[in-house]
Chain A
Amino acid sequence: MDKELKTLFLDADKINIDTSLALRFLRVRRELDENAKQLVLECLSEFEKAVFYKACYRYFDISIDGKKVVLDNGVSFESEKLAKNLDGCKGAFLFVATAGINADRLIKKYSSLMVSKALVLDAIGSAAVEGFCDVMCKKIRQEYGVSFRPRFSPGYGDLSILCQSQMLNLLDANKQIGITLTDSNMMIPSKSVSAIVGVRPKSEQCKNATDCDCCDEQNCPYRD
């Protein structure tokens, strides 16, 4: 497997933002009235004008040592849950994906001016970067001809947020796509996701070699 660091840049129009996901983040459980819907649309349009998606990713061979996941360059992450998630995998991708600093600017602007808009933009930003992760993962799967376990991020379960800086360093994420960390290990741009995602061992991979979009097996466990 190709172990080089790669980058991916996408224009805003390449990602379909799932507004229903954004609304779930906002805990909206019923249909909104017209004025609120209008607000969501307005935010969506402003957001799409501002953002530019960037990501970098890199493949590592891995081994599991008890609660530790060890990368082929010797770097290890200690987390029982991650070790379980990657159990049986021979390799994994590390990636970080971001909607960029303009998303932060937009949210910050409205955070002082019109907090309803900031709130909706924040949720749209989260949904957008999720959508970008999906698109990117699909692209990686196709590029490498593999399928993935669910992705796992620093801060999930027992994978400490403190390993964030190590992950970003392995991906040269500061120089490549401008990711920085605050002293409290928060990523800025804030609409960013870093994760490790296991490559399913051959035995687990889907038998139908077709693209999931063209496949009828709706309940397939390997479906994207």
Chain B
Amino acid sequence: MDIRKKILNEIVYIDGGLGSSLIKMGLPSGVIPETWNIEKPENIIKLHSDYIKAGAQVITTNTFGANELKLENCQYSLNELIESAVDNAKTAIANENKKQGEDVYIALSIGPCSKLLKPLGDLDFEDAVSAFSKSIKIGADAGADLIIIETMSDTYEAKAALLAAKESCDLPVFVTVAYDVNHKLMTGADELSVIAMLEGLKADAIGINCGLGPKQMKQIAEKYVKYSSLPVIVSPNAGMPKSVEGKTVYDVDENEFAQYMKEIALLGVHGLGGCCGTTPDYIKATVEKTKGLKALPIEKKNFTVVSSYTHAVKFENTPVIVGERINPTGKPKLKEALRNNELDYILKEAVSQQENGARVLDINVGLPEIDEVKMLTDAVLAVQGVSDLPLQLDSSDFTALEKAMRIYNGKPMINSVNGKQSSMDAIFPLVKKYGGVVVALTLDENGIPKTSDERVKIAKKIIDEAQKYGIEKKDIVVDSLAMAVSSDSKSALTTLKTVKRLTEELKVNTILGVSNISFGLPAREFLNSAFLTLCFENGLSSAIMNPMSKEMMKAYYSFCALKGLDSNFEKYIAFASGEQTLTAKTQGEDDITLEFAIIKGFSQKAYEIAFKLLETEKPLDIVNDKIIPALNKVGEGFEKNTVFLPQLLMSAEAAKSAFDAVKTAIKESDGENKQKIVIATVEGDIHDIGKNIVKVLLQNYSFEVIDLGKDVKPQAVVEAVCENGITLVCLSALMTTTVVSMESTIKLLREKAPDCKVIVGGAVLTKEYADMIGADYYAKDAMECVRFAQQHFGV
């Protein structure tokens, strides 16, 4: 029987600890466990046999660490290790007179690759996928019956491994992850976020292993059964490790273990196994204890959920606010930032929307003149670096959407599909493969229907078509479209009616970009906020809106408070009191000068004062007479050691916000003649604080900085230099091991751009070191770098 079917309907026993058992058999520390597949196959076969005798129906191969990223220094090839592992499992099954694929299944064990993925680590997502693919292909070809991806402690890595499995074979894939004592994965994910992502990516069974004992796992198992529509697997350690007379022992014996496993099975868990410290005795005891137990039926769960790498957002009674600010439509500043590849602007928008109550962020970076495929993936990666909110990937470019869905860490929202056949044909296969909740617009080949009847009809059509792909209604959120009430006085009523019918008749979640409603009328926020309340009252599940708008947030918090969705009015009170202090603060006029605000590093104040000064003074006078002198004073103080780096930076940031205020009054023409400098942290180095410090200061002194980021290849530096006619490059390296890449970058620059000068800096560098690798200048700190730049350009 197909193991997928089996585990859906029956309790399936999986084997127990492998690595810990091998250590007991005498595997010396420091020896790669997989080498025993070849050198001591008799031990491996015996262990498999013992598990089969104990009653295990799934035996996992000794391939947990067989990954090219982990086995760089092994004397055997990946093929040799994995093929012999599968052979050993087959031999054990034959020795026990069992039939492979009927009595006993061979699961190819895939463990973590022991490297962390970008953006926190340095492993590229696609490199991780390809490394996992290699091992999985070998194992599948060698005759494994299923793939078990186990002990994953990072959602992103779990996603890479699961995608690899789905793309390189047709075998069933089980995925189990390891929680810590706080019930979080190592990189922070809770239960529901993991479940949502793995279900979306079409794992065949999911669950938990390692990290905890059966007692601690029970609570997590409960949540898995509660949230998952897939069979759940639980493979605990034999308790928590403790040391007795110099040996690690686990504090739960086989009988106690079996008792807990029975309780876990009674929760509705279908896959029962063990991990570190468990032995064939543990599995045997579990099998005996749970004999005759019928597997509880698995219930399909019907809630709508999206997730990030830490948490999930469930669509329930409280409406979900989707932040709309990262969308260039009608936002000249964002357009400019996108054209200049300045992701920082997007990141600020992301964080401030989160701080103001957004629970999902829409990401749209579509502009005709930019490479949207690259920009959307870059933006998604960057935003996931600063915000843990789930994202709504928003694009009309299918390639961009697919790429973004692929590299997104979690279960995304997708904006959008519509009733056009071409749209559904393009979007649904992507949702099927990567998972996600998709926004469905009620328009089709004939445009946007005028009546609510027709809009509901399109919604139905989309839901039916989705079903053909196995995409359930819970993963569709319908946008019934808000049209300007100024051009059609009935449009608001039509939309409200449609929202109500979608909610009540189709029982589907809804979403709306509400602000369209007021197009063409004055004081739009008045109408928008009133319309928002009306929509919520008619059942709207989520709104795409501006969380920075006080009017809109007032409507939202008030609605929640009045509808009993805000226990003890906590959120309302927090919002209302936050509102008041904010007003109080801005009203209390301190009479401080702009210079003082900059020197002391009051960013917000510096912006306000500079903005106010524009009423009486010319922009350039503010810059030359106030901002620059203040900056110089701080810079000199730093050089004399009376001002320290944190203060220097706070002043720089205050100056920057003063510049931002002044910029609103200057025509965009001065950008042209700014001196350009390229800055980068060299390849292999992922520290970027130092580089960012230098960048902020250079910008303060009105240089235009082209920031290539961190871990930058020499070739990329050279390309940026040649494309932009750059004469000055700043390179940063923090580690002795990466100074080598600094040297090769300089070498390549000398070859391809001999006129370009190079400033180097970073913790491990010295003047001598800098000379040795052929740099032009060594800057001991950020100020010195500014001075060199001024000297270089003669300013």
Question: Which residues of A come within 8 Å of B, CB atoms?
Answer: 1-7, 9, 26-30, 32-33, 35-36, 39-40, 52, 73-75, 101-102, 104-105, 107-109, 111-116, 118-120, 122, 155, 161, 169-170, 174-175, 177-178, 180-186, 188, 190
Contacts and interface: CB of A to CB of B under 8 A. Distances in A.
Contact of A119 (B188, B246, B601, B646): B646
A9 B115 contact: no
B696 A115 contact: yes
B469 interface: no
Contacts of B120: 101, 104-105, 108, 188
Interface string B120-140: 111000000000000000000
A73 B613 CA distance: 72
Given A109-B386, A112-B385, A180-B116, 17 more contacts: A26-B644, A30-B644, A35-B601, A36-B646, A40-B646, A73-B30, A102-B188, A112-B343, A119-B645, A119-B649, A155-B736, A161-B735, A170-B30, A175-B112, A181-B115, A184-B735, A186-B686
Q: Which 6 A-B pairs have the closest CB atoms?
A: A116-B649, A178-B186, A184-B684, A180-B116, A182-B122, A28-B644
Contacts of B653: 114-116
Contacts of B652: 116
Contacts of A52: 182
Contacts of B600: 33, 35
Tell me if A's interface is mostly helix, strand, loop or mixed: mixed
B645 A27 contact: yes
A161 to B, nearest CB: 6
A3 B244 CA distance: 11
B689 A111 contact: yes
Contacts of B382: 112
B28 A4 contact: no
Interface size class, chain B: 35 or more
6 contacts: A26-B646, A32-B644, A52-B182, A73-B28, A115-B693, A190-B687
A9 B600 CA distance: 40
Contacts of B582: none
B347 interface: yes
Contacts of B602: 35
Contacts of A40: 646
Interface of B: 28-30, 112, 114-116, 119-122, 151, 153, 180-182, 186-188, 210, 241, 243, 246-248, 343-344, 347-348, 351, 382, 385-388, 600-602, 641-642, 644-647, 649-650, 652-653, 684-689, 692-693, 695-696, 735-738
Contacts of A36: 601, 644, 646-647, 650
B346 to A, nearest CB: 10
A52 B182 CA distance: 10
Nearest to B741: A184
Contacts of A2: 243, 246
B737 A112 contact: no
A183 to B, nearest CB: 6
Contacts of B688: 111
Contact of A178 (B153, B343, B684): B153
Given A74-B30, A109-B386, A186-B686, A174 B114 contact: yes
B264 to A, nearest CB: 23
Contacts of B735: 161, 184-186
A184 B114 contact: no
Given A3-B246, A32-B644, A178-B186, A119 B684 contact: no
A109 B351 contact: yes
Given A115-B689, A180-B114, A188 B121 contact: yes
Contacts of A116: 601, 646, 649-650, 652-653
Given A26-B644, A174-B114, A112 B685 contact: no
* From A36, A40, A52, residue with most partner B Cβ within 10 Å: A36
A39 B735 CA distance: 28
Given A73-B29, A116-B650, A161-B737, A108 B385 contact: yes
B689 A119 contact: yes
A3 B248 CA distance: 9
Given A28-B644, A101-B188, A188-B120, A4 B248 contact: yes
B29 to A, nearest CB: 5
Contacts of B28: 73
Contact of B248 (A5, A28, A104, A155): A5
A40 B343 CA distance: 27
Contacts of B386: 108-109, 112-113
Contacts of B689: 107, 111, 115, 118-119, 122
A21 to B, nearest CB: 15
Contacts of A118: 689, 692
